[in-house]
Chain A
Amino acid sequence: MAQRGIREFDGKKMLARYWGEYISKDLSFPGRIVLVDPETKLDDLPNEYSWLKKEKLVVKPDQLFGKRGKHGLIAANVSFEEAKEWIAERMNKKTTIGGVTGTLTHFIIEPYIPHDKEFYIAIKSVREGDTIYFSNHGGVDIESVWDTVAEINVGVMEDIDKINIEDKLPKDTPNENKRVLADFIRGLFRFYRNLGYAYLEINPFVISGKDIVPLDLVARLDDTAVFEFGSKWGDIRFPAPFGRNISKEEAYIKKMDAKSGASLKLTILNPKGRIWTMVAGGGSSVIYADTIVDLGYSDELANYGEYSGNPSTDETYEYAKTVIDLMTRERDIKGRPKFLLIGGGIANFTDVAKTFKGIIMALREYKEKLKKVGVKIYVRRGGPNYREGLKNMKKLGEELGVPIEVYGPETHMTRIVNMALEGS
């Protein structure tokens, strides 16, 4: 739980819904926007949104990634027929954005607004309050014109209406624009704060007659505040970041995680990798992955995996089975051994012997496969009942004929990484 990105569609819809309440009664924002997903029947849309056929349109993907113009993923000033065709060509197609490959599934269609002047605004949560960034030079990579950006700090519990925004606007702001812009900034800030936003960026927005039109919007909400703002947010979804196509096994663990009070996480990095981890605890699991990477074995790191919060024997069994199954599907191409690191720090209250029980069940079940693939297992763990847990693991090694080395808290947490990989 943390700050989570929302779709541009949801951000703009919310903006339109609360425009009159927080932003402006004089200037309007009609919020005409349509979200298209793989299920949408494009031909039916104009029945509900007649403006689609009457106006020129803009189309772009809405999947939490930016720089869409640079990647040729905006079609502007097009007819509905052209927009349809444009979407059809891209829907469910793979594309690569900044090194991340994912599938395009969501697009938004809006009216095309001819304009000449573009503005930039962003509001960001900081420890001492919130910071507003504004520039008269929007529509570009803002970093490239950072010297035109004015920074306005609003302290925690400070009233935005008591801040003289006009004076804090950039020096190049034309006098005739000052009031309109200051009012808009104040309004947008009220919207941001009263709706529990953690980040809101509009780059650019334009002034078009009586309307202020946000063209591109990026927003994050703090999802822990759902109990305070949830009713205002309405039916909001937090989509997965672009490019996170999860495998069957990852989805299985994710489903288990969602149902359980315990935490179970699995990310497969390289299914052909030789180093597999199954680590108790969020922080410890990161440290194990770190150490493997820092010792120069990132190409061999097969997964990131974590279980914590006192999972039941059944849950650790299912979890371990999933990981062991993945790692024993095929031998290493060069016939080298594979390593399974069953690691962890010193548990506070989790019964180590109990959680190991499920892992032991899974290992026993995969006895033949473990031997066939040539798996070496290293265990390190401390906490309640750890001696019993380690003893059981050791016995299991003898029983299965699979090499299992076990260590307790007297051994530094990550030393087994070294032992496995460097043989020291």
Chain B
Amino acid sequence: MAIKAKKKPDYVLMDKDTKAIVFGYQQNAVQRMLDFDYICRRKDPSVVAIVNPTRDGLHKCFWGTKEIQVPMYKTLEQATKKHPDADVMVNFASMRSAYPSTKEALESETIRTVAIIAEGVPEHRTKELIKIAKDRNKWIIGPATVGGIVAGGFKIGNTAGMLDNIIASKLYRPGSVAYVSKSGGLSNELNNIIANNTDGVYEGIAIGGDRYPGSTFLDHLLRYEKNPRIKMMVMLGEVGGTDEYDVIEAVKEGKIKKPLVAWCIGTCSKVFPADIQFGHAGARAGAEKETADAKNKALKGVGVIVPDTFDDFDKRIKETFDMLVRSGKHTPLPDVEPPKIPIDYAVALKEGIIRKPTQFVSTISDDRGEELRYCGIPISRIFEEGWGLGGVIGLLWFKKKLPKWATEFIEMVVLVTADHGPAVSGAHNAIVAARAGKDLVSSLASGLLTIGPRFGGAVQGSADHFTTYLYQGSDPAFMVKDMKDKNINIQGIGHRIKSVTNPDVRVEILKKYVKKNFPITETLDYALDVEKLTTAKRNNLILNVDGCIGVSFCDMLRSIGYSREEVREFVDLGILNALFVVGRSIGFIGHIIDQKRQKAGLYRHPWDDILYAMPDKPDEVKRDG
């Protein structure tokens, strides 16, 4: 694809036509760049692609009020190939990957300028990048910078902060003053000072606080010098390093002629003990020459406009600008009205300007605060006070602080339902799935999906059957007869081996516990009356463990304050199956782990265990039936 855009002068790194690739999935930064573009009335968004090493596809963001999609690629190579018109890369890679990603960008054919945001890039790596950039006639801004801004044109990443700042500093349209500073944090203040005292910023670059910035004060000042739209320049240097002396030399040699107002911060270093490292890696005066005082003096010495203190910086800038205007060298540029950007939903909500109905309601837990809470109880308290599994089920299923007898009962049920050997169909299915090489969750699901009317469903079924007849006021005899008439087995009644004379010890324990502790035992009592009738018919038609759990659980619900209607509601939504799922998952997981640790191979059912009863041929389907 040929690059059609007309060639920009060398001194322009970024302007209102610049297209950029953002390296790193920095959603806020991308949105801020697009918002800036929008208020500058750019024709097109400046971000044409995002490089996100972990995901490709499309990234959705706003262009004014409209939503647009920005393509996302896993590699820079793909991004540059698809977007050869992008000549700027805003690099949000970490200190570790800033080097390889910048190197790749500099070595590409299409990227000309790379802004490195990361702090802590090793100095020797930056030096390599500087060499590559120099050899290939390319530009680096940073590392350790917020970037820079071309007013009314292009904004690197998060430069200039929130939209309010940008509008207050009139950055949505070009002024005539260009600045270069080391500090990114202070660039906002410079935007403000320049907006308050001149016709505004034309361009501002923060070269970053490292010892070896990819491009220097001088590099940018020489660009500004060549750009006829820039009328005066501002430089904010600092203690440490000698880069400011290159500027002094250039002024002396007449390479810089435009008015330059400069100040180096860190004049206070002389009153500090030993060598305090200020914020920046490069900011430490090793020699007298590197002090801010020496630099300010030397700048002044060659005719640069230097205030006595930072406090006069604004006045010197204003005087210099006013002089340009008075001498007729410059006519202040007019202001324009920027388009409005709709306020972000999250911001508006926080400020209480808007409201919106919620889509759904949750009443059991909250993960948003300092600490996770179950029904209002912080998780730490649940541990400290030993609420246990039963207590947590009470909070999340019933939103109640259950009494000890209830939580203990729930835990007993979980223990008693945890497993019933490998032969039952649910465990068997879990085992077969595990042996087929399925992962733990899939194998567990295979087991759980078996739970239903015939397997494990008796807990649910018994609760259903017994409460139906009890709550409608039928006596046990009616229930037994009615069920028989309808030809339905009463769920929870009957055992293969156990009988009246050989009772199930699990049932005995549960029954005893419920009778002793529950204030209401109506369903259990009812079921036991039914059992009397059924065992009279046959010895093994006893209330089995599933039935005992089912009816007792309904009594527990009644005992903790639910009405019969509410108990039915719980039963109908399948709460007894839920209880069984919680318990039996423990057993299923046990079987799955067991099989996997044995490295058990694929299970194949033996032929001799199957009666093959295939017909010789299929039935013919006749046309006329």
Contacts from A to B (Cβ < 8 Å): 1-3, 100, 125, 127-129, 155-157, 193, 196, 198, 222, 224-225, 227-228, 241-244, 263, 267, 269, 281-284, 286-287, 289-295, 298, 301, 304, 306, 308, 345-349, 382-384, 409-410, 412-415, 417-418
Contact = CB atoms under 8 A, between A and B. Distances in A.
Interface in B249-287: 265-268, 270-282, 284
A156 B130 contact: yes
B212 interface: yes
Contacts of B506: none
Nearest to B243: A127
A349 B123 contact: no
A412 B165 contact: no
A282 B309 contact: no
B519 interface: no
A227 B196 CA distance: 44
23 contacts: A1-B120, A2-B277, A100-B273, A127-B212, A128-B127, A155-B131, A193-B124, A198-B124, A222-B123, A242-B274, A267-B276, A269-B271, A283-B183, A286-B238, A291-B310, A294-B267, A295-B311, A306-B279, A346-B192, A349-B161, A384-B162, A410-B196, A414-B310
Given A290-B309, A348-B185, A413-B310, 10 more contacts: A2-B211, A125-B127, A127-B130, A193-B124, A228-B122, A294-B309, A304-B276, A347-B188, A348-B188, A382-B165
Contacts of B96: 227
Contact of B267 (A1, A129, A263, A290): A290
Contacts of A409: 168, 192
B581 to A, nearest CB: 42
Interface in B415-464: none
B189 A346 contact: yes
B271 A293 contact: yes
A100 B277 contact: no
B22 interface: no
Contacts of B277: 2
Interface of B: 95-96, 119-125, 127-128, 130-131, 146, 158, 160-162, 164-165, 168, 183, 185-186, 188-189, 191-193, 196, 211-212, 238, 265-268, 270-282, 284, 292, 308-311, 313-314
Contact of B271 (A298, A383, A412): A298
Contacts of B281: 1-3, 224
A291 B313 CA distance: 11
In the complex, the 4 A-B pairs of residues with the closest C-beta atoms, listed nearest first: A282-B279, A2-B281, A348-B161, A225-B122
A291 B272 contact: no
B189 A284 contact: yes
B265 A290 contact: yes
Given A286-B265, A290-B266, A418 B311 contact: yes
A345 B189 contact: yes
Contact of B165 (A224, A283, A298, A383): A383
A325 B284 CA distance: 30
Nearest to A418: B311
A224 B189 contact: no
Contact of B278 (A193, A224, A286): A286
Given A227-B96, A412-B193, A349 B311 contact: no
Most chain B CB atoms below 10 A, which of A100, A193, A293, A301: A293
Contacts of B95: 224, 227
Task: Decide if the interface of chain A is mainly helix, strand, loop or mixed.
Answer: mixed
B265 A244 contact: no
B116 to A, nearest CB: 13
Nearest to A386: B164
Nearest to A296: B309
B219 to A, nearest CB: 12
A348 B184 CA distance: 10
Contacts of A198: 123-124
A36 to B, nearest CB: 23
B164 A384 contact: yes
A415 B311 contact: yes
Given A2-B277, A125-B123, A308 B185 contact: yes
A224 B122 contact: yes
A413 B267 contact: no
Contact of B273 (A156, A243, A415): A243
B532 to A, nearest CB: 67
A339 to B, nearest CB: 15
A198 B165 CA distance: 39
Most chain B CB atoms below 10 A, which of A100, A155, A294, A413: A294
Contacts of A242: 274
Contact of B310 (A290, A347, A348): A290
Contacts of B275: 241
A125 B191 CA distance: 34
B131 A157 contact: yes
Contacts of A347: 161, 188
A256 B427 CA distance: 54
Given A282-B278, A384-B164, A269 B272 contact: yes
A289 B313 CA distance: 15
A374 to B, nearest CB: 24
A224 B211 CA distance: 12
B270 A293 contact: yes
B138 to A, nearest CB: 15
B121 A224 contact: yes
Nearest to A242: B274
A417 B267 CA distance: 15
Contact of A157 (B120, B128, B162, B279): B128
A286 B209 CA distance: 14
A175 to B, nearest CB: 35
A244 B272 CA distance: 11
B309 A291 contact: yes
B274 A281 contact: no
Nearest to B270: A293
A346 B183 CA distance: 13
Nearest to B119: A1
Contacts of A414: 309-311
A248 to B, nearest CB: 17
B505 to A, nearest CB: 57
Contacts of B267: 290, 293-294
A236 B418 CA distance: 54
A129 to B, nearest CB: 7
B165 A156 contact: no
B411 to A, nearest CB: 40
A142 to B, nearest CB: 14
A349 B158 CA distance: 9
Nearest to A294: B309
Most chain B CB atoms below 10 A, which of A267, A287, A289, A301: A287
A241 B122 CA distance: 22
Most chain A CB atoms below 10 A, which of B121, B212, B274, B284: B274
A283 B185 CA distance: 7
B189 A286 contact: no
A364 to B, nearest CB: 23
A2 B270 CA distance: 21
Contacts of A298: 268, 270-271
